[in-house]
Chains A and B, each alone.
Chain A
């Protein structure tokens, strides 16, 4: 087929439509003139000559139509005409159009919103060079599934694992920035000089670190994030080479990273590091043996490891090499076999999105179901309308409109509807994306990057097309079967709607119910799961508690005496505020960070060979237990008298006593923290277990050391502590007075992470709660849409059967009989839908297993409740139209008949 000729004729026909039409007129007029003139020459009168010419031509308009058809542009011209016609039809029925377009808009808007999130979080590559060959390296041993590396391990991986092209270490902490305005506490990363190049990222300005800078006592240098550079330094390119005050020390800025750069672990809830300094450490500092050898004491694990895989190497290959290496280390006796030491890699993409992937995919699938329901709904509405328009369509067929043309016109109507719905839906999506970005859990990485970009818009357009197709096919099929003769012969009245036509609508009802069941089951499971999480006793009382992170830098608080003095000064002043019931401080807030452990010596307890006596370490000031609402099991809490020069005391959790002091009196038992040369401390109290790492995590033995004594008992001075204030009123109302007290004591101190404890608990279950909220929202949406759909369809069925009902009423059926009759017709589809939905849900909810806590994906209680709720909603949607059936008036039938 010479398509170019086709286009060659179609294009001008479209572009110069008027001109082409005029030329056709001229040509045919010329023909008729010539013919008429010839007829005159043959002796006819002028009038007869013209008449004969026209007759011989055979109908000017008819052949004009035929020529238009031949131009090949017909399809486009018709489309424009159909669209205009559709628009007029839709405008005439504003109510129907509004409901249908709004339904489309909800479905398309919700789906587009979720797609933009999925795209930002799961589909957009991480901002690294070739992220597919970057992997995190983790250690694991008994009781620790995924934890830090030691310096010795890094040296071994760097030199011995061939699958790694390059390996680097980093840690995170925080620094205080002064000068250039308000003091600011920032999360800071300490990185090996090669970490930026392992991640495949070049600084935007300046450079990364050199090997000379990345060694102990190297020059103080720092690299800034793009955001900090913009915010605090006004995007000044002259910042490179300038000295800024970091923790009171002049530090040279050597580089600024590009916008969006983050370390691999900075995509999570804890927030991102904003400045980077050289790790600047060596084997000696880490008690490690230099080179690939392992020091007998060099097992302090405190670094994150990241590797660039060698060309052609895979993460699995690296894991195999790591397994072999550890088998060797255990054989050599470097690592005790009982500890079950191992190491493994996690590809960086999986590291960042692995946890949220199942949540997002489940939610995305759910929103797809909402869209399907929306389509079913509009299809139902269109079918109902198609029923009402049968006569109009039949008349048009009888007048010569092709059935194919009619079908296309109906489809065009749906496309216009879906287009309007899509446009509205994109508006909704813009709002939805904004909402999700605000409401999304902090742990949902990169959700801030979700936006309405061209790809998302294209997706929305595709959805609109899909929606039009899905909801337009049935009504178009319905129209294509219109036979004008029978339609018009019925005299416009039919006693009942044909069975075939009803079946489509009934199938739609069943489908909507089934889809709603699946969605509501998903929502129900999440609600049960989150309820289970909230029912867990975390071991403290979060209500009425305000928390904020404080830091006492060594520049201004050189030793632990000054630090303790600061809290001694601070706490009574806060205590004096009206409404404050208790105030204290702790090293780490429960449910907001992972707690590490120290090796302990517990008097009278001999650990099994090679197992050690680890204890999770918490450091607190007096008042912490009362402020956090911990439950006392025995003895006492930390008190004011536990000063540096007083007898050393320790509080332990119940798990500690069960594990290390089983069958013994806990109070009075003695413990050494860390090095066996450290002094003994005496247990003076036992508290109930606190679920520190997560609501669902295992509780390990834990101890609480008084801040004032910790520096003496271990040689460590605590720099960062979190203030905890319990009040009888609204904890947030305490923020200004507490801040002003802090300022009056030391205006240089930065305050960060100001949160209520309820916010902290909420954030710890943010992902399941996010899934619950979205699935709940979609579930409600599904129920409402289905109810509307069922109502519409049943109403129409009742209306179509009005004459039948009238006849039945005339023959003696009671209103109740009629109501029951129409209820029954709806009930069968509802039951079919419930059964189908339950079956599909049983298959699909398995995908949610990872999201659920304390409830199985096939939880019978949830399923039963959902079936009951959906059935009730479907029944409610059926009742109103059914009651209308009961009011069928026999007289009207008889009169009209």
Chain B
């Protein structure tokens, strides 16, 4: 049904999550907040959609999780990037650079040609 679109989104979401977690371990809400801040609210997705993605990444071993206490003394589930996740992030960033570079070249060419 809406598979192709959500797959693209999922892929992007995954990359953003990994990027966020590569800076420091973070709980779900923190990840969501950080992504919103970085992306300047470009991604208009439901915050809840983060959790299935996190579960999927856990299953694939890209991240791991543990319950810790926040600075405000609440228990929260913190996520942490694994070595596998780091590798995956680098690969995805490289892939992204390559394809966005290609798109940019096409666009430049198209504008010049037009």
Residues of A bordering B, CB below 8 Å: 2, 5-6, 8-9, 23-24, 26-28, 30-31, 33-35, 38, 56-60, 62-63, 66-67, 69-72
Can you list the 5 inter-chain pairs with the closest CB atoms, starting with the nearest?
Answer: A58-B46, A63-B48, A66-B52, A70-B55, A31-B29
In the complex the two chains form, what is the Cα distance from A70 to B48 in whole Å? 14
Closest to A61 in B: B48
Would you list which residues of chain B between 17 and 56 have a CB under 8 Å from chain A? Answer: 27-29, 32-33, 45-49, 51-52, 55-56
Of listed B29, B32, B48, B75, residue having the most chain A CB within 10 A: B48
Contact of B55 among A8, A34, A60, A67 (CB under 8 A): A67
- Measured CB to CB, the closest approach of chain B to A439, in angstroms, equals 58
In the complex the two chains form, what is the Cα distance from A35 to B28 in whole Å? 11
Contact call B59/A5, Cβ cutoff below 8 A: yes
Residues of B bordering A, CB below 8 Å: 27-29, 32-33, 45-49, 51-52, 55-56, 58-61, 67, 74-77
| A9 surroundings in chain B (CB, below 8 A) | 55, 58-59
| B46 surroundings in chain A (CB, below 8 A) | 56-59, 63
Contact call B61/A31, Cβ cutoff below 8 A: no
Contact call B29/A66, Cβ cutoff below 8 A: no
In the complex the two chains form, what is the Cα distance from A58 to B75 in whole Å? 23
- Measured CB to CB, the closest approach of chain B to A23, in angstroms, equals 7
- Contacts A26-B77, A63-B51, A69-B52 aside, 17 further interface pairs with beta carbons under 8 A come to A2-B60, A2-B61, A23-B77, A24-B51, A27-B27, A30-B28, A30-B76, A30-B77, A35-B29, A38-B33, A58-B45, A58-B47, A59-B48, A67-B51, A70-B55, A70-B56, A71-B59
Evaluate whether A56 and B47 lie within 8 angstroms (CB atoms) in the complex, with A5-B61, A30-B74, A31-B29 already known.
yes
| B52 surroundings in chain A (CB, below 8 A) | 63, 66-67, 69-70
In the complex the two chains form, what is the Cα distance from A59 to B49 in whole Å? 9
Main secondary structure of the interface of A (DSSP, over half): helix
Contact call A70/B59, Cβ cutoff below 8 A: yes
In the complex the two chains form, what is the Cα distance from A23 to B79 in whole Å? 14
Contact call A27/B59, Cβ cutoff below 8 A: no
Contact of B77 among A8, A27, A60, A69 (CB under 8 A): A27
Contact call A62/B61, Cβ cutoff below 8 A: no
Contact of B75 among A8, A26, A28, A71 (CB under 8 A): A26
- Measured CB to CB, the closest approach of chain B to A10, in angstroms, equals 8
Contact of B49 among A6, A38, A63, A69 (CB under 8 A): A63
| A30 surroundings in chain B (CB, below 8 A) | 27-29, 74-77
| A34 surroundings in chain B (CB, below 8 A) | 29
- Measured CB to CB, the closest approach of chain B to A152, in angstroms, equals 81
In the complex the two chains form, what is the Cα distance from A8 to B45 in whole Å? 29
| B33 surroundings in chain A (CB, below 8 A) | 38
Closest to A65 in B: B52
| B47 surroundings in chain A (CB, below 8 A) | 31, 35, 56-58
Of listed A28, A31, A33, A72, residue having the most chain B CB within 10 A: A31
In the complex the two chains form, what is the Cα distance from A9 to B55 in whole Å? 9
| A8 surroundings in chain B (CB, below 8 A) | 59
Of listed B29, B33, B76, B77, residue having the most chain A CB within 10 A: B29
- Measured CB to CB, the closest approach of chain B to A24, in angstroms, equals 8
| A24 surroundings in chain B (CB, below 8 A) | 51
18 A–B contacts, CB within 8 A, in A order: A2-B61, A9-B58, A9-B59, A23-B77, A26-B77, A31-B47, A35-B29, A57-B46, A58-B48, A63-B46, A63-B48, A63-B49, A63-B52, A66-B48, A66-B52, A67-B52, A70-B52, A71-B59
| A62 surroundings in chain B (CB, below 8 A) | 48
In the complex the two chains form, what is the Cα distance from A9 to B64 in whole Å? 11
| B56 surroundings in chain A (CB, below 8 A) | 70
In the complex the two chains form, what is the Cα distance from A70 to B56 in whole Å? 5
In the complex the two chains form, what is the Cα distance from A60 to B28 in whole Å? 14
| B49 surroundings in chain A (CB, below 8 A) | 58, 63, 66
- Measured CB to CB, the closest approach of chain B to A7, in angstroms, equals 10
In the complex the two chains form, what is the Cα distance from A34 to B28 in whole Å? 10
In the complex the two chains form, what is the Cα distance from A62 to B74 in whole Å? 25
| A26 surroundings in chain B (CB, below 8 A) | 75, 77
| A59 surroundings in chain B (CB, below 8 A) | 46, 48
Closest to B27 in A: A30
